[in-house]
């Protein structure tokens, strides 16, 4: 990244000051809030900005304000999931939009491998960004602790198991969402309700299973519980396992839409009709839910509110406020699969 730089000399604040017939200080004041600037000077500055085409140099500004004016979006998931599961794209897109509103760019970084984690960690410690949006479902990733130690504001997406109260987060109310779905399945007259969970080291894996157990109580036999990894293939494998262990099941609550799509395929291959023989409920209400056949009954995660809260919580922390948490309500969306 070194080499001959293009010799396009951009106008500086000096040029604007000269063109407007005022000093640098006045230009700076006029542009940042306009406090204590006479109307005449303000107008002259704005005009000079227009004629010179001046845009403030972000590096110089950062240097003096000690602010990067940017934020990192760090993804610690295996990259396969990034483009298989639409959830990540939605989160990423949402955060980008939300940050754009306040003119803060988003830097995308990954931390899947050891090398990447080191690089990302060092990069963030260098002060390139003012805060971190951390999308990492599974616990036990040392990155979170590294970030916390470095003192940089962090907001996690989903409850950071083992760090509640220490690090800010925004999350859907997984547990009550799961309850909604299982109660719905019951109301459809199902009695052998199985579940495909997320990984047990993720908040979604734990909480959605807890919600399932809340409703079923003693009916939640081990035969009816299979663990998935949030991937489509994982959903297929878990469904196959359930069918072999409990061939008489008449409903499945799957902890993500993507896994549910996999489960649908396996049910189809086994000759079972959905929802006549087996009702299937998903979780997320991602774009997948409406593209399966039959369309998926699912629990809607309020992604837009989640991203909005994540950004808000992060900006608040950057302003110096202590970390907080936002738990957002979920909603049952009934379609053809139940």
Partner DNA sequence: CCAACTACTGTGCACGTTCACAGCGCGGTT
Partner DNA sequence: AACCGCGCTGTGAACGTGCACAGTAGTTGG
Residues 314/133, Cβ–Cβ less than 8 Å: yes
Site for DNA in 40-59 (CB under 7 A): 40-41, 54, 56-57
Distance of alpha carbon 281 from alpha carbon 329, whole angstroms: 18
Residue from 4, 165, 248, 271 touching a copy of itself (CB under 8 A): that is: 4
Residues 72/121, Cβ–Cβ less than 8 Å: no
Residue from 65, 114, 165, 217 touching DNA (CB under 7 A): that is: 65
Question: Does residue 18 belong to the site contacting DNA (CB under 7 A)?
Answer: no
Distance of alpha carbon 37 from alpha carbon 215, whole angstroms: 65
Question: Does residue 10 belong to the site contacting a copy of itself (CB under 8 A)?
Answer: yes
Site for a copy of itself in 208-237 (CB under 8 A): 232
- Number of residues that make up the chain: 338
CB of 184 to a copy of itself, least distance (A): 26
41 binds, among a copy of itself, DNA, none (CB under 5 to 8 A by kind): DNA
100 binds, among a copy of itself, DNA, none (CB under 5 to 8 A by kind): a copy of itself
CA angle 153, 154, 159 (to 5 degrees): 145
Site for a copy of itself in 152-211 (CB under 8 A): none
Residue from 18, 31, 46, 56 touching a copy of itself (CB under 8 A): that is: 56
Distance of alpha carbon 185 from alpha carbon 193, whole angstroms: 8
Of the listed pieces 41-49, 76-84, 177-185, 221-229, which binds a copy of itself according to CB under 8 A? 76-84
CB of 125 to DNA, least distance (A): 12
Q: What dihedral angle (degrees, nearest 10) is formed by the CA atoms of 170, 72, 112, 125?
A: -110
Q: Which is nearer to a copy of itself, 224 or 296 (CB)?
A: 296
Beta-carbon count within 10 A of 251 CB: 26
Q: Which is nearer to a copy of itself, 100 or 142 (CB)?
A: 100
Q: Spell out the SS3 assignment of 283-322.
A: CECCHHHHCCCCCCEEEECCHHHHHHHHHHHHHHHHCCCC
Question: Does residue 305 belong to the site contacting a copy of itself (CB under 8 A)?
Answer: no
Query: Residue 328 contacts by C-beta under 8 Å, 6 or more apart in sequence?
Result: 170, 171, 172, 173, 302, 305, 306, 309
Of the listed pieces 16-24, 61-69, 158-166, 242-250, which binds a copy of itself according to CB under 8 A? 61-69
CB of 219 to a copy of itself, least distance (A): 32
User: By CB neighbour count within 10 A (0-12 exposed, 13-18 middle, 19+ buried), where does 149 fall?
Assistant: exposed
CB of 37 to a copy of itself, least distance (A): 18
- Report helix angle 13-20 to 24-31, nearest 10: 100
Question: Does residue 128 belong to the site contacting a copy of itself (CB under 8 A)?
Answer: yes
User: Whose structure tokens read 């003693």?
Assistant: 218
- Count residues binding a copy of itself (CB under 8 A): 67
The residue ranges that bind a copy of itself (CB under 8 A) are 1-6, 8, 10, 55-60, 62-63, 65-70, 73, 79, 82-84, 86, 88-90, 92-93, 96-97, 100, 102-110, 116, 119, 122-123, 125-128, 130, 151, 232, 261, 265, 268, 286-287, 291, 293, 315, 318-320
């Amino acid at each position: 990244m070194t080499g001959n730089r293009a010799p396009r000399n951009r106008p500086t604040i000096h040029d604007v000051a000269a063109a407007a017939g005022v000093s640098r200080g006045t230009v700076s004041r006029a542009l940042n809030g306009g406090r204590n600037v006479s109307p005449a000077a303000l107008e002259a500055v704005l005009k000079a900005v227009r004629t010179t085409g001046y845009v403030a140099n972000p590096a110089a500004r950062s240097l003096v304000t000690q602010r990067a004016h940017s934020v990192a979006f760090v993804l610690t998931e295996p990259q396969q999931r990034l483009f298989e599961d639409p959830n990540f794209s939605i989160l990423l897109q949402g955060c980008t939009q939300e940050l754009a509103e306040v003119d803060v760019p988003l830097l995308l970084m990954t931390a899947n491998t050891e090398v990447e984690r080191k690089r990302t960690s060092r990069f963030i410690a260098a002060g390139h960004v003012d805060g971190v949006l951390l999308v990492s479902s599974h616990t036990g990733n040392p990155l979170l602790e590294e970030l916390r130690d470095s003192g940089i504001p962090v907001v996690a997406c989903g409850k950071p198991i083992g760090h509640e109260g220490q690090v800010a987060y925004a999350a859907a109310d997984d547990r009550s969402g799961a309850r909604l779905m299982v109660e719905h399945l019951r109301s459809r007259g199902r009695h052998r309700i199985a579940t495909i969970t997320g990984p047990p080291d993720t908040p979604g894996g734990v909480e959605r299973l807890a919600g399932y157990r809340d409703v079923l109580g003693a009916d939640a036999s081990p035969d009816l519980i299979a663990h998935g990894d949030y991937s489509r293939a994982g959903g297929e494998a878990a469904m196959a396992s359930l069918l072999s262990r409990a061939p008489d099941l008449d409903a499945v609550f799957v902890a993500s839409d993507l896994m549910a799509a996999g489960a649908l395929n396996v049910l189809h291959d086994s000759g079972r009709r959905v929802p006549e023989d087996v009702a299937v409920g998903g979780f997320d209400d991602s774009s997948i839910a409406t593209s399966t056949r039959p369309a998926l009954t699912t629990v809607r995660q309020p992604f837009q509110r989640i991203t909005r809260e994540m950004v808000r919580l992060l900006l608040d922390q950057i302003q110096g406020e202590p970390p907080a948490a936002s738990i957002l309500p979920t909603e049952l969306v009934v379609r053809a699969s139940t």
